[in-house]
Amino acid sequence: MNRKEWREVGGQCLYFVLALAAMALLLKGVDLLMGVMGFVQSKPLEGEKLIIILGAWLLMFSMFLGLSPFAMDSKQKGMEYLLTLPYSRRRLLIIKFMPRLAAIVLFYLAFVLLYGSMGNGALAGGFTIFSLAYFALFFISFSLAVVDENFIVQSIWAGIALCGYTVICLYIVFLGFSWKFGMPSSWFGSNLWQDLSYDPPTLLSAIAVFLLIAAPFLASFFLAFKKFDLKPSRAFNRRHLRIFAPLLLLALAGSLGVTYLVQKSSAYDEADFHILGDQRLLKISFAGKLTLYEETGRQRIKITGLISWEPLLLEQKERLFLSGFDSKDETRFIGCLSLADLSWRILHRCPNRYVVIPGYQGFRYDGESFVYLRRSRAEAERPGLDNDPVVRTEDMELVRVDPAGGKERTIAFKNPLFNRYYEPNFIGSDVLNGLRFWLVAHKWHHVLRLWEDGRVEDLGLSKGIPAYAGGLLFTRGDNSLKVLRLLASGSETVKEISGDFKVNVFFNRSLAIGNVREIYVERNKRIVRIDLATLAVDDVAPDRGHIWMTSSGEFYYVEFETWPGGANDKWKKLYRLQDSKRVFLKQFDFNDDGYGHIFVDTCGVILRQVKMKNSTVSRTRTRAFAFPDLHELRFTGLN
Amino acid sequence: MSQPILEVHDLSLSFSRKKVLDRLEFSLRRGEWAVIAGRNGVGKSTLLRCLAGVLLPDAGAVARSPEACPAKTGFISDRLSLFEDLTIGQAVAFHRRVFAIDDFDDRLLGRLGVKQKERIRSLSAGERAILHLSLVLSQKPSLLLVDEVLHMLDPYIRDLFIEALIEAMTAQETAVLTVNHTFSEIERLPERVLVMEEGRFVVDETPEALRGMMKKVVCRGPLPNGLPCFFSKGEGEYKEYFIYPFSEDLRAAHALDFQDIALPEIIKAFIGGGYEQKRMA
């Protein structure tokens, strides 16, 4: 009997592989034919697209194999004969189950190998969900193998069960997120899943949930099958359901319990901290929370909407400008928080029909206005399953928003080079001959200058993100740093400095860094100073840490105890970089409070310590130190 | 008297709301041949399937002696269920592996002239019946359950089939339980006749006893009072009346010609009587 089953499963697997090969050949054939006939340019089937097709095929195969254990026997009119063989019902089911499970595992392993070699980003964080759904679909389908004699009816039931199963599992997983972050579960969507699928506690609890909820299907089927016979399926289905329902409730309770225990014990507060000019501390938690800390206490600032915050955009007098994404209407916005009365208003919303560059790179401050680049969402492409749309067209708009009243002005640009820039970064802004311009760059591409009057200038190639300071543009070449002076039209090369440079320090949200006279960058793994007047390069110290530049144009250096940093590090040191000197400011000791991360801001330094236990975050501790003397600020309720 | 090889207690089974087997009781001894008769839809095949394990009862129990374990029980259903995509050779090999059979007697198949490479789906009903019989007989069964298949067979194959059954009974003391509508070929073979009605046995007698319990009277006009008429038929001037239960006292009391009737006709009368009762209910 075993041999018969293995042979049958082998035949079904071969059938699927041949069908898949035939489909691939057909697709390729059609593609080639279209190319030959001149309709489309024949392109190779990308790895990621192939993986997605394979993945969909595998899900169908999983369902088919799950529903098929008795299909062949029924087709051959051998069900009566089968039930008279000298096997118990349970043994019969195991004989049916094992070869199919082996085939499912084998195909999955083959898919994993292919995924690793050609389609790594295809399913993004969804690979975990795909894997769980693949096995769950098999278990669920197997448990419905005798729900009806008709295969189509069986498939429909399997599809309905899988949908219900997925909804339940995802709901519990999202509940886990809400316990982890202390926010309502309605906040969380698939984007968050993609990020958190690499978080061990989330992954472990999600796997536990998916397996626990799938277990009742299989367990109840095995238990009910003891009474399986050839009476009309309704009788068996009723019995199956009577066993399934309590098992499902038990599994639900178990899943909720496991998720709660795991996620609560690894509760994590993903947040940005900013020391304000009045030495209060602003905490921006990504899932919608804004909290203001003072010595005497804290204040939660209530903002309506499902907001994912970005780091602080600008502090100006008694106002804080913040940007974020509102999941309610799926718009990005700039808002203003008054520090006097903690009132909040939206200054500007980017309509949903546009795509704004994602992340904190989107909205910037150029010294006069907030600026951002946007494109029409209708022209977006979506390679793979990445949720961020990619737009490659020749059109781009720059929007300026006045901080005072929110008045906006849009400048439309059109240039063939834009279709290579799907994530253009602002790297600087300035005024020349009374006309403002913005510098925009994309890794490995040309630097573009966008003029206020709508002109676009190509300033040449940069192999790596360039930098702009003191009227000079720093672009990267092969083992060199090129310094260009920007003219009213074009630029002139002032100097080319050899070396392996890293100039990735100019990423403040404000493009207006003041009148700097020197910059500090890394060359050949050492910190060097470049005088902006003479372009002299002075060696400062070995680079065993990070260089920071504040929005006021001051440079700091954080030295690690070991480089690039180890879990057992006990300290980090902060230096001021000025006039080619490295001036020691303070040593931050971690003690036993966990590894410390240093963030240098205009008004001070944030030390955030994270203690890990069994690869999960067990505790976080935040400390703030204010410039100029880096005395520690104490806040009630901060930790 | 030997111990029963099979005992059925209070067996009940329903399909949806329709009760098919209703607290059925009977037993079967080793080497005994019992035949089940009854009208269509009364539950004969369902009972056999229940005894074979194809259907599971809703209530009651089927107790088997150890020698009648599933490996030693053969079942030939009226659907002649086998894996049709297999060839004869593959089916034999499969059956031998599953039932751990050392040798397989293919004499029956040989007499039909079928080839080992022929697929089962291409066999005729008779050839399939012989194949199925060969398979179950190779198990050397202690209990053989045979649903109504004889009517599908041509006279030659039918004789082969019956001969094989007799040989098994003789050699292995196989208990045989068959469902039959036709009795002409097997009239002298079964030791018990069970007539099924409304999910239970209403008659369980030897053929000899049955012949003594039912007589036929042909009358012109109505039957005299006092005679237990079980079933009557005939539309013309003369009618046939089947008297059941008959006793010799009735012969003395009534000046009528009480005729002996053959088993097939007795069975037919029981079936006809069952339909009449169903119509009147």
Distance from CA of B49 to the nearest CA of A (A): 9
Confidence of residue A3 (pLDDT cuts 50, 70, 90): confident
Mean pLDDT of B144-149: 90
Span A469-489, mean pLDDT? 89
Question: Shortest CA distance to A401 belongs to which of A463, A480, A468, A333?
Answer: A333
**What was the pLDDT predicted at A384?**
39
Picking from A86, A229, A230, the nearest residue to B99 by CB comes out as A86
Chain B contact for A229 (CB, 8 A cutoff): yes
- When the pLDDT of each residue in chain B is averaged and rounded to a whole number, the result is 87
Query: Which one-letter amino acid corresponds to residue A615?
Result: S
Q: In Å, what is the CA distance from A66 to each residue of A55, A116, A137, A433?
A: 16, 26, 8, 73
Instruction: Spell out which residues of chain B touch residue A79, defining contact as CB-CB under 8 Å.
Output: 81
Which of these, A76, A77, A236, A245, lies nearest to A145 by C-alpha position?
A236
- Indicate whether A38 pLDDT > 70: no
Report d(CA B29, CA A427) in Å as an integer: 98
Q: Which residues in chain B have Cβ-Cβ distances shorter than 8 Å to A230?
A: 49, 54-55
Averaged pLDDT for residues A246-262: 94
Give A51's pLDDT tier (boundaries 50, 70, 90).
confident
Give the neighbor-by-neighbor strand order of the sheet with B192-197: B73-76, B143-146, B175-179, B33-37, B192-197, B200-205
Average pLDDT for residues B245-274, to the nearest whole number?
A: 85
Distance CA B271, CA B278 (A): 11
Question: Looking at residue A42, what is its pLDDT?
Answer: 45
Of A376, A431, A369, nearest to A400 by C-alpha is: A369
Q: Alpha carbon of A599 to those of A104, A544, A559, B187: distances in Å?
A: 48, 16, 12, 103
pLDDT one-digit tens code per residue, A84-117: 999 999 999 999 999 999 999 999 999 888 887 7
The residue type of B203 is: V
- Whole-number average pLDDT of chain A: 84
| Chain A residue at shortest CA distance from B78 | A80
Sign of the CA dihedral with A574 first, then A580, A581, and A585 last: negative
Comparing alpha-carbon positions, the chain A residue that sits nearest to B73 is: A84
| Best to test chain B binding among A85, A87, A226, A231 (most B CBs inside 10 Å) | A231
> Of the ranges A159-163, A204-208, B187-191, which one carries the lowest mean pLDDT score?
B187-191
> What is the residue whose two structure tokens read 């045979």?
B146
Return phi, psi of residue B62, to 5°. Answer: -120, 110
For chain A, say whether B98 makes contact (Cβ under 8 Å): yes
Reported confidence tier of residue B163, pLDDT bands at 50, 70, 90: confident
Instruction: Give the distance from residue B85's alpha carbon to the nearest chain A alpha carbon, in angstroms.
Output: 6
In this prediction, does ipTM exceed 0.85? yes
Query: How confident is the model over A442-463, as a mean pLDDT?
Result: 85
Q: Phi-psi category of B272—alpha, beta or left, where left has phi over 0 and alpha has psi -120 to 50?
A: alpha
* Most confident option among A97-101, B12-16, B173-177: A97-101
The answer to whether B63 touches B55, Cβ cutoff 8 Å, is no
Lowest-pLDDT choice from A624-633, B55-64, B114-123, B180-189: B180-189
Decide if pLDDT at A435 tops 70: yes
- Write down the pLDDT at residue A386: 43
Per-residue pLDDT averaged across A385-394, rounded?
61
Among candidates B52, B55, B83 on the partner chain, residue whose Cβ is nearest the Cβ of A78: B83
pLDDT tens-digit series, residues A412-434: 998 888 877 667 788 889 999 99
- A566 or A318, which is more confident? A318
Residue B42 contacts residue B93 (beta carbons within 8 Å): no
Q: Output the 3-class SS for chain B.
A: CCCEEEEEEEEEEEECCEEEEEEEEEEEECCCEEEEECCCCCCHHHHHHHHHCCCCCCEEEEEECHHHCHHHEEEECCCCCCCCCCEHHHHHHHHHHHHCCCCCCCHHHHHHCCCCCCEHHHCCHHHHHHHHHHHHHHCCCCEEEECCCHHHCCHHHHHHHHHHHHHHHHHHCCEEEEECCCCCCCCCCCCEEEEEECCEEEEEECHHHHHHHCEEEEEECCCCCCCCEEEEECCCCEEEEEECCCCHHHHHHCCCCCEECCHHHHHHHHHHHHHHHHHHC
Across the range A303-317, mean pLDDT stands at: 83
Look at residue A321 and tell me whether its pLDDT is greater than 80: yes
List, in sequence order, every residue forming a beta bridge with A400; answer none if it has no partner: A371, A409
Q: Is A4 on the interface with B (CB under 8 A)?
A: yes
Pick A328 or B196 by higher pLDDT. Answer: B196
Contact between A609 and A620 under an 8 Å Cβ cutoff? The reply is yes
Alpha-carbon Rg for chain B, nearest whole angstrom, is 21
pLDDT band at A183 (very low <50, low <70, confident <90, very high): low
Label each residue of A461-526 as H, E or C: ECCCCCEEECCEEEEEECCEEEEEEECCCCEEEEEEEECCEECCCCCCCECCCCCCCEEEEEECCE
Question: Given pLDDT bands bounded at 50, 70 and 90, which one contains residue A594?
Answer: confident
Among A257-261, A401-405, A513-517, B94-98, the range scoring the smallest mean pLDDT is A513-517
pLDDT digits (tens, 9 = 90+) for A154-168: 888 888 998 899 889
Helix (H) / strand (E) containing A74:
helix A71-75
Q: What percent of chain B clears pLDDT 70, i.e. is strictly above it?
A: 98
* Per-residue pLDDT at A530 exceeds 80: yes
Task: Indicate if the pLDDT at residue A479 is higher than 60.
Answer: yes
Rounded to the nearest angstrom, the minimum Cα separation between B55 and chain A is 5
Report which of residues B106 and A361 the model is more confident about: B106
Is the Cβ of A227 closer than 8 Å to some Cβ of chain B?
yes
Q: What per-residue confidence (pLDDT) applies to A190?
A: 55
* Chain A stretch 74-93, residues whose beta carbon is closer than 8 A to a beta carbon of chain B: 76-81, 83-86
Looking at residue A89, its pLDDT comes to 92
Q: Is the peptide bond before A403 cis (omega within 30 degrees of 0)?
A: no
Cα Rg of chain A (Å, integer): 30
What is residue A617's predicted lDDT score, i.e. its pLDDT? 64
Q: Of the candidates A73, A83, A231, which has its C-beta nearest B53's C-beta?
A: A83
Q: Which of A4, A73, A86 sits opposite B94 (nearest CB)?
A: A4
Instruction: Answer yes or no: is pLDDT of A39 > 70.
Output: no
Residue window 326-365, chain A: list those with CB within 8 Å of chain B: none
β-pairing, B143-146 vs B175-179, is parallel
Question: Mean pLDDT, to the nearest integer, of A16-41?
Answer: 70
Q: How confident is the model at residue A383 (pLDDT cuts 50, 70, 90)?
A: very low
Q: What is the mean pLDDT of residues A213-225?
A: 93
Say how far apart CA B57 and CA B59 lie, in whole Å. Answer: 5
Task: Determine the pLDDT at residue A44.
Answer: 47
